[in-house]
Amino acid sequence: MSPSSSTAGERILTLVVRDAELRESMLGDLREEGARLARRAGAGKVARWHLRQSLSIAVRYGVMRILRRKPPVRWITTADLEPQGPWWTGMLRDTRYAWRATLQRPMLSAAVVFTLALALAANSTTFSLMDALVLRPYRFPGVDRLIVATTIAPESTFVDRINVTAADFREWREQSKTVKGWAMYQWWDANLSGVDVPEQVPGFFVSPGYFALLSAPPVMGREFFESEGQRGQHHRVVIGQGLWTRRFASDPNIVGKSIRLDGEPYEVVGVAPPGFNTPDGAEVWAPIALTDEQWANRRAENYGVMGRLADGVSLEQARAELTAIVDTQRNDHADTNLKRYARVMSFTKGMADPGAGSFISVWQAAALLLLLIACANVANLLMARGAERASEYSIRLALGSSRARLFGQTLIEGLVLSMGAVLLSMPLIVAGLAVSKASIPASVLRFIPGWAFIRLDLELFAVTAALGTLAMIIFSVLPAIQATKAQVADTLRQSGRSLTPGRNRQWARSALATTQMALALALVFASALAITAAHETVNGRLGFDKNNVLVAQLNLPERNYSDADTRRRLITEVSDAMRVIPAVADVGVVSIIPAAFNNWTRRFFPEGQDIPELEARTAQFRMATPEYFAAMKIPLMRGRMFDDSDRPESTPVAILSTTLVHRYWGDEDPLGKRFRFALDGPWITVVGVSGDIVHNWFDRRGDMVYVPITQQAPYSVAFAVRTVGDPHALAGDLRRAVAAVDADQPIAALESLDKMVEERAAGFVFISRALGVVGLIALVLAVIGIYSLMAFLTTQRTQEIGVRMALGAGRWQVVRATTSRAIGITIVGTVVGSALAIGVGRAMESILYGMVTTSFVQLGALVAVLGSVALLAAYVPARRATQVDPMAALRES
Amino acid sequence: MAPIYLGEFEYAVLLSVLHLDEGAYAVPIREVIEQRTGRPVARGALYTGLDRLESKGCLKSRMGDPSDERGGKARRYYSVTAAGLKALRATHEAFSSLTKGLESILEQP
């Protein structure tokens, strides 16, 4: 038998069988038989036979070792008798002893380490996401001195950071003394053409000095000169690293070359530093060049504003100053600035996605709860070990050891365990972060700054280690106190006779198990809620049919398409070109497709209802073709569809959604009613009522106004193409259809509608899944906790059970006696847990935009499942207790 | 001291060791049991059984010399101890006293 054919099996056996002689004989036996088998059946079969036999022996032997394991012989440290050196020799010695104590109960130590590592990994993964996405998404130098300033209406809850007018900004820049540098930026969907495939590139117009303000000077070339903010000299562009690599093959001579954006030549003057994509994933930046007339405009709220605080100035001082300036502007220009109030925030807060924080904090809270559960588990296990070692402590106390010494040593033992847990958690964190990164689709990433910072670094390691150590110190104090409370005489008198442990200790452990149970119930309930909501988001009722629809989104540049008729012509021609594709069933056009990232709302003033301008509610606003409703399968409930009679010069008409109609007219017949979007705007007549749709998952209001494209033509156009069969198969055809009409016009996004709905909810789905994992771990930990407690208690009572059975107690009576405590824990745990769960559910309802509804059916089902699992965990050891041979139990002492 | 109680499998293992006398190590022990009882024996079960019997004091073991046939590994030879013999006798006696009077049923072809 060749030695090479057997390594795997032999390694396993070597690992499991610790007895050297037995191991050698086993290995030899297998080799001998293997050689015989090889002669009979051929060498090919031997390897697998050998592995199978080794595994089966290893499993049986391993199980036997575990079942027959006797409490190991305790060593009693003689440290207390050793001469005292400097403090650190004592420390070293204690660490050595702690290490030995850890190895003495490998299973128990492994359980502690593993439990803690899981919880730490969950926490650190969450924390890393929180840190990278919410706390510190921007890390360029001096970011803490940067501010974001905007104006908002007093009643607005949503802070729109791109909401400042040019004239207002100019005055801020001139008057403020607390801010030493200012920059203004404006959204720009730049159409890159003059290349094989035109592409829409996310871009921004920025005021010269923008890169210097953010301390992110271009790595190649330069940033914009002040003079390039003048009309006529403003066709300069800085491109991002991504675009440079992707479209220009990292051309080292790119600076000075000309590229076509929105059909016009722009000279590349620089390449942004790697990773720089502020704001909102920008890949091209060009100077803002306004005419004097535009600079004087106090109506167009098109700009975002950032600034750098002057030296020694605090955010509060800048806020106070800017508030004063904005207040003056409001008084001086009451006609335009009536509803503008200053809002000044730190850069990080100002640029943050308002949604991400609350999501991740829900997750972080869950992870912290998980850590609590894990710590309860660990404390429970440590107390079990403490009980086991009571006699050791007593002997040491009797030998003259100080209680402080024992206390310290127990703590150090905890630290040794926590160190193991921290190390083990590292690969888990790496895996967790990798999964997190993989689960967010690329289309969403643009809006998530700080993505690149998600990784395991030294800081994260330090945080994890600190958390692990802190948790361990807190939770090994309990067993440590117990250790030092040991009453020498009592324990020694009892030694050998392990009686039922004292009431106090039992009480503490039961309380821990109850807490665990309650926390786990709340956590599992929370994750169940989130998962249900996420499922509902993607698969629930949307009001349209998301399947088999391919969506092509175009942004028409103002330069070529300033005339509404040219826009309409493009829409018609592209639609016609798409309709002739064989697998296309319907082509509809809408200004903003459901599940898109943007939305458009307008104030709604119904005729005959006296609503003051400030109190008008808004409704979502869309321009659509009649085919759009057919392509999306949005039903028309009443009235008529748009048709050829709706012309630019005919009566303005609209189709309203059911919810909107009900809001203003109740059960009245809405057809023929009129409304307008502004107090001085034209009246629009309602001609039809459509079904409600959900635009995106966090904004589920159903109000929607559709006006015909023949009367108002959008710049942003989405073609909704209903296909027969796989929509993605038609992507090429759609591209050709667009290119045939306007070769310079890129398709901004081409994606199937179901995918868009899914991606829109990706963050939510991801968080809910992450919560699910956390909940599952919590459940497992809680069950382990109850099981280990029950197993421990039952073992402690083996003698008592033996006596009872010898005296004639039936099996059922024994089971009842041993499980009564578990039943108590389960009842109290589920009651407290249910209360907690309802609270958590309510909190989630408010944080998650009413996406979540507390379901009592779900709660009931969970209580039933968790209760049964807990009782089962208690029953198993109880059942084993009844199988104890009474004689053996009594003899054991 | 009362004799050690033997399970059926342990009983079979001890008897096989007796049969094999000097040459009793795991491989032939397993073969003897399988041949004589006609029932398959898992190797893992045999090793744990041997280990248990040794810890009960029914068997003792010694290591042989390493041999090439076994890839340089030694055999572990088992022999029955006095306590083991006593246990065997007691078990045998128990079984035969139980079967006494049932020969007509048990020994039917």
- A42-46, A293-297, A390-394: range with lowest mean pLDDT: A390-394
In a domain, A103, yes or no: no
In a domain, A835, yes or no: yes
CB A304 within 8 A of CB A173: no
Q: How confident is the model at residue A840 (pLDDT cuts 50, 70, 90)?
A: confident
Whole-number mean pLDDT of chain A? 81
What is the mean predicted confidence (pLDDT) over A106-134? Answer: 82
Q: Is A32 close to B42, i.e. CB distance below 8 A?
A: no
Q: Is A1 close to B61, i.e. CB distance below 8 A?
A: no
Instruction: Give bridge partners of residue A588 from the DSSP assignment.
Output: A720
Q: Is A854 helix (H, G, I), strand (E, B) or coil?
A: coil
What residues in B contact A57, CB-CB < 8 Å? 43-44, 47
Do A591 and A531 share a domain, yes or no? no
Q: What pLDDT is attached to residue B1?
A: 54
Nearest to A606 by CA among A510, A545, A681: A681
Do A670 and A772 share a domain, yes or no? no
Angstrom distances, CA of residue A380 to CA of A115, A474, A514, A534, B108: 12, 13, 11, 35, 61
What is the mean predicted confidence (pLDDT) over A468-478? Answer: 80
CA distance A391 to chain B (A): 27
Q: What pLDDT is attached to residue A787?
A: 77
Do A347 and A456 share a domain, yes or no? no
Domain boundary among the residues A351, A371, A389 is at A351
What residues in A contact B67, CB-CB < 8 Å? 28
What is the mean predicted confidence (pLDDT) over A169-175? Answer: 89
Domain boundary among the residues A293, A322, A351 is at A351
Predicted ipTM beyond 0.90 = no
Note down the domain range covering A50.
Answer: 3-67
Q: How confident is the model at residue A448 (pLDDT cuts 50, 70, 90)?
A: low
Q: What pLDDT is attached to residue A82?
A: 52
What is the mean predicted confidence (pLDDT) over A288-303? Answer: 84
Lookup result for tokens 């807190």:
A474
What residues in A contact B76, CB-CB < 8 Å? 21-22, 24-25
Question: Between A363 and A304, where is the model more confident?
Answer: A304
CB-closest option in A6, A26, A33 to B47: A26
Q: Is A33 close to B27, i.e. CB distance below 8 A?
A: yes
CB-closest option in A24, A30, A59 to B74: A24
Please list, residue by residue across A9-21, b when 16 or more beta carbons sit within 10 angstroms of its beta carbon and e when fewer do: bbebbbebbeeee
Alpha-carbon A325 to chain mean position = 39
Instruction: Give bridge partners of residue A148 from the DSSP assignment.
Output: A306, A345
Domain boundary among the residues A34, A52, A67 is at A67
Q: How confident is the model at residue A623 (pLDDT cuts 50, 70, 90)?
A: very high
Does the predicted TM-score (pTM) go above 0.80?
no
| pLDDT beyond 90 at A510 | no
Q: How confident is the model at residue B72 (pLDDT cuts 50, 70, 90)?
A: confident
Q: What pLDDT is attached to residue A503?
A: 53
Do A225 and A254 share a domain, yes or no? yes
Backbone angles phi, psi at A561, to 5 degrees: -125, 35
| pLDDT beyond 90 at A517 | no
CB-closest option in A24, A33, A56 to B44: A56
pLDDT digits (tens, 9 = 90+) for A76-85: 554 455 555 6
Interface list for chain A against chain B, based on CB atoms closer than 8 Å: 1, 3, 6, 21-22, 24-33, 35, 53, 56-61, 64, 68
Interface list for chain B against chain A, based on CB atoms closer than 8 Å: 25-27, 42-45, 47-48, 51-52, 61, 63, 66-67, 69-71, 73-76
Do A184 and A310 share a domain, yes or no? yes
Highest mean pLDDT, choosing among A31-35, A487-491, A497-501: A31-35
In a domain, A677, yes or no: yes
Do A262 and A318 share a domain, yes or no? yes
CA distance A799 to chain B (A): 22
CA distance B38 to chain A (A): 19
Instruction: Give bridge partners of residue A686 from the DSSP assignment.
Output: A654
In a domain, A97, yes or no: no
In a domain, A696, yes or no: yes
Question: Between A770 and A452, where is the model more confident?
Answer: A770
Per the structure, how many domains does chain A have?
4
Do A245 and A290 share a domain, yes or no? yes
What is the mean predicted confidence (pLDDT) over A880-889? Answer: 68
What residues in A contact B51, CB-CB < 8 Å? 22, 61, 64
CB-closest option in B43, B51, B70 to A28: B70
What residues in A contact B28, CB-CB < 8 Å? none
What domains sit in chain B, N to C, each tagged with a CATH number? 8-106 (1.10.10.10)
Do A319 and A369 share a domain, yes or no? no
CA distance A26 to chain B (A): 8
In a domain, A578, yes or no: yes
Do A720 and A807 share a domain, yes or no? no
Do A649 and A725 share a domain, yes or no? yes
What is the mean predicted confidence (pLDDT) over A500-525? Answer: 76
How many percent of chain A have pLDDT more than 90?
13
What is the mean predicted confidence (pLDDT) over A25-29? Answer: 89
| pLDDT beyond 80 at A480 | no
Q: What pLDDT is attached to residue A892?
A: 55
Do A567 and A502 share a domain, yes or no? no
What is the mean predicted confidence (pLDDT) over A548-557? Answer: 89
CB-closest option in A6, A22, A56 to B76: A22
Ordered DSSP codes for A772-814: HHHHHHHHHHHHHHHHHHHHHHHHHTHHHHHHHHHTT--HHHH
| pLDDT beyond 90 at A411 | no
Do A288 and A360 share a domain, yes or no? no
